[in-house]
Amino acid sequence: MSESTVRYTPLSRARAIKEFLRKFLGYHGAQLGLLCLVFFLVQAAVPNILVGPLETVATATGDFLAPPSSLHLLGTDEVGRDVLNLVAHGARISLMIALLATVISLVVGTTIGMMAGYYGGNVDVWLMRLTDFFFVMPSFVLALVITPVVLQVMGRGSEILGFRPSLFVIIAVIGLTSWSFVTRVVRSQTLSLRERTFVDRARVAGSSNLSIMMRHILPNLVPQIAANGALVVAGAIYVETSLSFLGLGDPLQPSWGTLLSLAQRAGAASAGAWWYLGAPGLCVLAVSLSFVLIGNALDDTFNPRRRVIP
């Protein structure tokens, strides 16, 4: 009997989830990645509780590039704002952009990959040529070219749902330029799944192509999508940080990349203000590494052939 046709009871499903968690959490990388990620997610969820409201030039309480002290644990910036306060609030913007961009990337990549792998023929040829273009062209380069153009067309008008349009532009641009890797993985799996017995049975039963893809193929792709999605988040954080560092972020809602840009403009490196550059830089590194560790652990858990002793 095909795995796809097995009827799971609530008890067997609970056992399967328990077994998955046991294997996944058995990897030290997964444990470290989750611990670090939870820390930053809490920081992003309740920054006002942890460090107070976002400090502005008018509410700054410190001196010019003051080093870390008991009052300002991570020092201050060029206008006296607490760097810890800025980093905590920047976590919300950076993670929001990365996670939402990843959702767009996974939806686009999964849709195109399933269609190319399932239909084959000319559909596969044309969709994969489009994928190859995005695959060989670095997403950062595409985002760097597209983002200023879209921002110029849209302008930086009124806020949308509490966030300025520039943030939504960056989310859309990153998501729409970083899906090619997911597409190739999904296509290769779909090519295998479409030849399985349970798909043939669904065709004979009169199921439509859309129904087969959504009810039979997509559920079997979830492990690969989840594992690669964690890696896409790490890439999205890198692209967002780079774009913001180059001045395409929103200074009124600073992300970690924006803080790095402000520190560079303030001459933090030449002034010896290592805390101003180091704090957001280490946050970017830590979160990216966390998602990479989680993605690798998921891949090893779902794919026994790659599994190594943790």
Query: How many structural domains does the chain have?
Result: 1
Number of residues that make up the chain: 310
* Residue 190: inside a domain: yes
Q: Which residues pair with 163 in a beta bridge?
A: 160
| Residue 6 confidence (pLDDT) | 46
| Residue 24 confidence (pLDDT) | 85
Structural tokens at position 18: 């328990």
| Residue 12 confidence (pLDDT) | 65
| Residue 142 confidence (pLDDT) | 81
Q: For the domain that residue 126 is a member of, what is the CATH number?
A: 1.10.3720.10
Query: Does the predicted TM-score (pTM) go above 0.95?
Result: no
* Residue 58: inside a domain: no
Alpha-carbon distance of 104 to 19, in angstroms, equals 30
| Residue 140 confidence (pLDDT) | 80
The boundaries of the domain holding residue 154 are: 25-48+80-306
* Residue 19: inside a domain: no
| Residue 283 confidence (pLDDT) | 94
* Residue 31: inside a domain: yes
* Residue 62: inside a domain: no
Structural tokens at position 308: 């190594």
Let me know how many helices (H) and strands (E) the chain has, helices first: 13, 0
* Residue 15: inside a domain: no
* Residue 70: inside a domain: no
Structural tokens at position 103: 């959702």
* Residue 17: inside a domain: no
Structural tokens at position 74: 């991570």
Alpha-carbon distance of 100 to 107, in angstroms, equals 11
- Walking along the chain (310 residues) 10 residues at a time, the average pLDDT comes out as 47 74 86 93 90 87 88 90 92 91 94 93 92 84 80 56 65 88 92 88 88 90 88 90 84 86 89 91 94 89 60
Question: Taking Cα atoms as reference points, which of 85, 184, 86 lies closest to residue 128?
Answer: 184
**What are the C-alpha distances in Å from 231 to residues 9, 198, 225, 272, 282?**
32, 30, 10, 34, 18
